[in-house]
Structure 1
């Protein structure tokens, strides 16, 4: 996921100073900007929160909570992070009719993705692996989680990063910070406005020209996450497609949808649905979003003429501006 934060800044002497904190986490970078009369720097606390989060939900750590569960039949939670992500996953799984499904891990590995990437994907066992996919095989309460059968495994990469943004946002609010922007790997939460009552302005990358902007979005008091497999597209009969794994069929499918940006009250929600909407496609996503008053979406896709098209739902269209 890629983002551009457009910061237009000269801060007058009589205004509250804006603090900038940045670093690395989760195999990517983070950028945090906030207004604080006390001029406090929260980098140490941010790094500590993100490190604790990785100990719980990172698939790249053998000692993480999720890695332990993937090797086991059941575990008791040892962190405050696992249970909320399971709750949101269940909600998104049910509302999208399985388009979002974090039990997709066996398929992800079979196609050569995931922490243990393989160069030669093995497709012959997809039907048998599909029996391991389905969030209904996960049972949990506020204390523990268990699986219905051995080898069912979880992959929270489609939702966890958004939740980590929410955690940092929550920490800032606990410090009485009410104007801020938190971004981790392109997942963003903005609260309040900048000095002079200006919106936070974020950019959405052109999926066919990585490193360049396709549009900008004005944001305040909302989360924004973007999913896009920009570097894995291909052309067929003049139209550009993406590859995606459909958790309901187990198949690697083609989609003309190249970029999905979701706007929600928090980043964990936006992150879950941007993953689901890729599977659902343009038209089904449009129908879905009409029924969800708390969600908005911005889609970039190719038409049959091979040209990029976009769609912004009603709640966000006045805040989106195409570049050139």
Structure 2
């Protein structure tokens, strides 16, 4: 079975600051005009913060606050911490007095679930578990889990069966479960952006699993985000200039349950598995939460469905590479 960290959606974004690849920055700058750079983990995934600030001491203090806030949010959203709010909800099927952040993410998820006619659905967690458990067996059939097992968990999928308000969250069916891996990284990114802006920061690139820019780089140029099929595995196929916008990428090749690569982590909540339509699909919009969720849902849409969704959501742009290798930009 895969390492839990690999469960995360494939965020295949390589950012650039001052002409250097973000994933290659491993130090905190000390030169006067250089940004302060922090690298760590957020929700089990690599995270990076590039911060331009005239006061180096205050910049370091801000980064310390960011680290504490990320840790606090992990205690809410993590699937792998037994005491997290999400784990408790999945374990008992109900959660009284939920954290306001969890309710906020469910509200954002519900909006995208409705807009995408259920293609974005955080209740696919039981389906993911069936695939993970099947391929963890030494005698696993290469054709995938038995249809009876898939049919049983499909009955548990449907965000309409998650009831929530600020006082309580409940599942309508026993055995349901939520994964917020397709939206929580974006939400954490947005929370950190809000924290930095409240502190007066006007130039930063925040990557807490998804990327969002505050203003321009220190030299006045846009932040540059490189796109690839997998994180660190493929060469960059496009570069997106980013100012006060967010970027999220999904790729079927980001994680596969089986060694043959037939079954991806991006699961169609209606059909179970899904055949890849795109090598990668990137969404660009004003906030990382929606960029995160829509990149997942649109990976399951054909071109007609994507264009129809963009017509209803004019603030979103899509940059994708088809399975045949053609790059398209849709707005």
TM-score by length of structure 1 reads 0.84
State how far apart, in whole Å, the 2-side matches of 1:208 and 1:151 are. Answer: 33
Alignment of 1:309-320 (within 5 A): 309-314=326-331
SS at match of 1:255: coil
> Shift in Å at residue 298 of structure 1?
0.8
Q: Assess if the C-alpha contact under 8 Å between 1:241 and 1:256 holds in 2.
A: no
Q: CA deviation at 1:277?
A: 0.6
Q: How many residues align?
A: 297
Shift of 1:43: 2.8
| Mapping for residues 135-150 of structure 1, pairs under 5 Å | 135-150=159-174
Greater strand content: 1
Contact 2:202/2:214 (8 A) holds in 1: yes
Name the SS for the 2:239 alignment partner.
strand
Q: Which residue of 2 aligns with 1:61?
A: 81
- Deviation, structure 1 residue 151: 1.0
Q: Which moved more, 1:43-52 or 1:267-276?
A: 43-52
Correspondence for 2:243: 220
Check 1:231–1:53 CA distance in 2 against 1; reply closer, same or farther (3 A cut).
Answer: closer
Deviation of the 1:9 alpha carbon: 5.5
Deviation at 1:222, TM superposition (A): 0.6
Q: Which of 93, 98, 101 is 2:113 aligned to? A: 93
How much has 1:67 moved relative to structure 2?
A: 0.7
**1:33 counterpart (39, 45, 50):** 50
TM-score by length of 2: 0.83
The one of the two structures with greater contact order (alpha-carbon pairs below 8 A, sep at least 6) is: 2
Say if 1:242 and 1:263 are closer, same or farther in 2 by CA, change over 3 A: farther
* Post-superposition CA distance 1:178-216 (Å, at most 9, x none): 21110123x100021113320000100145992311111
Tell me which of 108, 123, 136 is aligned to 1:118.
Answer: 136
Answering whether residue 50 of structure 2 is matched by residue 22 of structure 1, we say: no
Q: Aligned with 2:113: secondary structure?
A: helix
Aligned partners of 1:109 and 1:117 also within 8 Å: no
Output the CA distance in 2 between the equivalents of 1:77 and 1:222: 33
1:1-324 correspondence runs (5 A) = 1-8=11-18, 18-39=35-56, 40-41=59-60, 42-112=62-132, 118-119=136-137, 120=140, 122-123=145-146, 124-185=148-209, 187-206=210-229, 210-231=233-254, 243=264, 244-249=266-271, 251-303=272-324, 308-314=325-331
Distance between the aligned counterparts of 1:199 and 1:96, measured in 2? Answer: 31
Question: Partner of 1:196: helix, strand, or coil?
Answer: coil
Change (3 A) 1:133 1:28: same
CA distances 1:99-154 after superposition (whole Å, capped 9, x unpaired) = 000011111111117xx973446333111211110000011112221111211111
The residue number in structure 2 matching 1:319 is none
Q: Secondary structure at the match of 2:40?
A: strand
Question: Relative to total residues, which structure has the larger helix share, 1 or 2?
Answer: 2
The aligned counterpart of 1:318 is none
**Alpha carbons 2:121, 2:158 under 8 Å: kept:** yes
